RNA sequence: GGGCCGUUAGCUCAGUUGGUUAGAGCAUCUGCCUUUUAAGCAGGGGGUCCCGGGUUCGAGUCCCGGACGGCUCACCA
């Protein structure tokens, strides 16, 4: 109520409570950028006229010193202090000052100088009111520690946390870099349907919605993959899309129901070419955005220096399965179903029964249990089982192994790519196998997409495709441990709803 | 959905084996202070101890149930 009372007093002093504009000559960042490097002597050497600014900002600190006051002004990005003296702004300005609170917006007109302690400051000649903050800001010293408010009321987080601000600026630069990277290499950015009759291109549960006029159920896409490959078939040899995917799965530090995916397709290329392109993309992004390929990750460091390590899924299981109780995992065990079952038993793979009949799923499960938690440095895991890769082409030398890779960084799956299956008959066969699995209760198995098979029958050139999780990439580039830290408005349980 | 942890002033947190009137710093209010910067000094106000039951002479503290949040496991990128 104090703040509302202060607002009333400001109005009584004759100040408009919601002025339409302030004739700013600079923002705080401009002042810091222009004079941040000038010491006191350099500033004094400039004529006063050249140091005059009309500077708006939000008040983030008030230090009263009797008949002088220091205000920390922020433009969200930088801070600079205003030095307001009673004899500088007069009785009117002083009366206004006495009714200002933390969070209010004001405009200061004055001269840039440095105080005797060397702090860059603006000596106020006048002070105008711009907007009132009626709610108290979080604790000035501890900041916003309530992680729920941080996510639910991101605007409050952004007001007080320069780190949060920086995180989202880095994220924006990542996306911008990705676009420039692909544009420069002749890729066409496209947008494909978010609402699909068949949610294809990945194994996940979709969200469902309904179109009234057509009276059809539609799915929010779980991936753009099948549409992008239709475009390659249609004659765009290089396409990419950066957009949201929606998966009706759990929420965790690495999962948000809607997340941003980069997918790109290169005709006439294979999985190896995509890996090389990916290394170039990530190392280049790190260098340009962060100025280094050595990224801090908690107490550790991740090196985005190319080339990244290549490791087959089986080799990974053997390498990280050495200390399994009951004896190390042996390469010969991974070649047969009985051997895999024995190995999985020793490794303590969960839900053994569910994957027991499928050697591909069993190997993937072994990999996830034993190897994935160790893959801190960027590692391309290659040679995925064909059974778990229904949209991928097999290796030319081995029909049981998909020409597929996944990139792991920071113990997370960051990217997934492969040489695309372009044989319509084989694709039809794989869809049928997926449908059969679905009938057996696997509700993440894919649906048969008849139109996609027809598209392939028109002839898709040899093509490699890949998806990269942009949110996770943003996590890596900002040293964020939770995906919620890199999504401005992550999905939260609505307030007041029970479980 | 399971497990673990948390919820005390506007904010960040203390609060002993269950025992007077629940505390501190910041914020807020009053006074002093014209180069401070977590400004300083003096004083004041401010509490549904998350909610509902229970045990007890007595509950912020113990027990049961619930709400909300975090972490984690499973599904998944």
Please give the ipTM for the structure prediction: 0.83
Task: Return the pLDDT at A155.
Answer: 85
Q: Which nucleotide is nearest to A483 (CA to C1')?
A: B77
Q: Stated in angstroms, how far is A499 CA from B1 C1'?
A: 10
Look up the protein residue whose alpha carbon has the minimum distance to the C1' of B32.
A66
A491 touches strand B (CB under 7 A): no
A87 touches strand B (CB under 7 A): yes
Q: Which nucleotides of B are covered by protein (CB under 7 A)?
A: 1-2, 10-13, 25-29, 32-40, 66-77
Q: Stated in angstroms, how far is A144 CA from B12 C1'?
A: 10
Q: Stated in angstroms, how far is A119 CA from B11 C1'?
A: 28
Q: Stated in angstroms, how far is A133 CA from B48 C1'?
A: 28
Q: Which nucleotide is nearest to A222 (CA to C1')?
A: B77
A102 touches strand B (CB under 7 A): yes
Q: What is the pLDDT of residues A161-183, one digit of tens each?
A: 888 888 999 999 999 999 999 99
A1 touches strand B (CB under 7 A): no
Q: How far apart are CA A67 and CA A83, in angstroms?
A: 11
A140 touches strand B (CB under 7 A): yes
Peptide bond into A307 cis (omega under 30): yes
Q: Stated in angstroms, how far is A368 CA from B31 C1'?
A: 67
Q: Which nucleotide is nearest to A351 (CA to C1')?
A: B74
Q: Stated in angstroms, how far is A417 CA from B74 C1'?
A: 25
Q: Which nucleotide is nearest to A258 (CA to C1')?
A: B77
A135 touches strand B (CB under 7 A): no
Task: Return the pLDDT at A499.
Answer: 33
A141 touches strand B (CB under 7 A): yes
A361 touches strand B (CB under 7 A): no
Q: Stated in angstroms, how far is A144 CA from B27 C1'?
A: 14
Task: Return the pLDDT at A63.
Answer: 94
Q: Stated in angstroms, how far is A134 CA from B46 C1'?
A: 19
Q: Stated in angstroms, how far is A389 CA from B3 C1'?
A: 34
Q: Which nucleotide is nearest to A472 (CA to C1')?
A: B77
Give residues 254-273 of chain A lying near strand B (Cβ < 7 A). Answer: 254-257, 259
A5 touches strand B (CB under 7 A): no
Q: Stated in angstroms, how far is A498 CA from B62 C1'?
A: 27
A109 touches strand B (CB under 7 A): no
A411 touches strand B (CB under 7 A): no
A67 touches strand B (CB under 7 A): yes
Q: Stated in angstroms, how far is A339 CA from B58 C1'?
A: 67
Q: Stated in angstroms, how far is A145 CA from B17 C1'?
A: 33
Q: What is the pLDDT along chain A (499 residues), one digit of tens a residue?
A: 478 889 989 999 999 999 999 999 999 999 999 999 999 999 999 999 999 999 999 999 999 999 999 999 999 889 999 999 999 999 999 999 999 998 999 999 999 999 999 999 999 999 999 999 888 887 777 777 777 778 878 888 888 888 888 899 999 999 999 999 999 999 999 999 999 998 888 888 888 889 999 999 999 999 999 999 999 999 999 999 999 999 988 788 888 889 999 999 999 999 999 999 999 999 999 999 999 999 998 888 999 999 999 999 999 999 998 888 778 889 998 888 888 888 888 887 765 555 556 788 888 888 988 898 889 999 999 999 998 899 999 999 999 999 999 999 999 999 999 999 999 999 999 999 988 888 877 777 888 999 999 999 999 999 999 999 999 999 999 998 889 889 988 887 766 544 3
A442 touches strand B (CB under 7 A): no
A250 touches strand B (CB under 7 A): yes
A348 touches strand B (CB under 7 A): no
Q: Stated in angstroms, how far is A1 CA from B16 C1'?
A: 38
Task: Return the pLDDT at A71.
Answer: 95
């Amino acid at each position: 109520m104090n703040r509302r009372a202060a607002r009333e007093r400001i109005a009584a002093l004759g100040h408009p409570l919601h002025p339409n504009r302030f004739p700013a000559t600079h923002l705080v960042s401009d002042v810091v950028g222009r004079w941040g490097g000038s010491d006191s002597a350099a500033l004094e050497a400039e004529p006063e006229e050249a140091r005059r600014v009309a500077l708006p900002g939000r008040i983030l600190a008030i230090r009263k010193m009797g008949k002088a006051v220091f205000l920390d002004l922020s433009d969200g990005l930088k801070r600079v202090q205003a030095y307001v003296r009673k004899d500088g702004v007069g009785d009117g300005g002083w009366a206004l000052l006495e009714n200002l609170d933390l969070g209010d917006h004001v405009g200061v007109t004055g001269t840039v100088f440095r105080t005797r302690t060397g702090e860059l400051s603006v000596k106020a000649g006048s002070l105008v009111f711009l907007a009132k903050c009626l709610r108290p800001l979080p604790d000035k010293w501890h900041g916003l520690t309530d992680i729920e408010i941080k996510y639910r009321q991101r605007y409050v987080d952004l007001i007080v946390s320069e780190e949060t601000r920086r995180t989202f600026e880095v994220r924006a630069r990542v996306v911008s870099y990705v676009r420039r990277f692909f544009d420069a290499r002749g890729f066409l950015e496209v947008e494909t349907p978010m609402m699909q009759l068949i949610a294809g291109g990945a194994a996940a549960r979709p969200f469902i919605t309904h179109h009234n006029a057509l009276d059809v159920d539609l799915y929010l896409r779980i991936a753009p993959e099948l549409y992008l490959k239709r475009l390659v078939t249609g004659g765009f040899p290089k396409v990419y899309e950066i957009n949201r995917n929606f998966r009706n799965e759990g929420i965790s530090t690495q999962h948000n129901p809607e997340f941003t995916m980069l997918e790109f397709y290169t005709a006439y290329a294979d999985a190896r070419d995509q890996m090389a392109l990916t290394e170039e993309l990530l190392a280049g992004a790190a260098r340009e955005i962060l100025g280094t390929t050595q990224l801090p990750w908690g107490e550790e460091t991740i090196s985005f220096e190319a080339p990244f390590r290549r490791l087959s899924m089986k080799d990974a299981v053997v390498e990280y399965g050495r200390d399994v109780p009951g004896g190390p995992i042996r390469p010969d065990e991974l070649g047969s179903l009985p051997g895999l079952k024995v190995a999985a038993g020793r490794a303590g793979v969960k839900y053994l029964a569910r994957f027991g009949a499928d050697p591909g799923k069993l190997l993937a499960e072994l990999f996830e249990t034993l190897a994935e938690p160790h893959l801190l440095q960027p590692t391309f895991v290659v040679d995925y089982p064909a059974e778990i890769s229904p949209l991928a082409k097999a290796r030319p030398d081995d029909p049981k192994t998909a020409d597929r890779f996944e990139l792991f960084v920071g113990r997370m799956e960051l990217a997934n790519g492969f040489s695309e299956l372009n044989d319509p008959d084989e694709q039809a066969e794989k869809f049928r196998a997926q449908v059969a699995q679905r009938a057996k209760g696997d509700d993440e198995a894919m649906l048969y997409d008849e139109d996609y098979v027809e598209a392939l029958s028109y002839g898709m050139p040899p093509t490699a495709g890949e998806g990269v999780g942009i949110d996770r990439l943003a996590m890596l580039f900002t040293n964020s441990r939770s995906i919620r830290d890199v999504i401005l408005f992550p999905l939260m349980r609505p307030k007041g709803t029970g479980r």
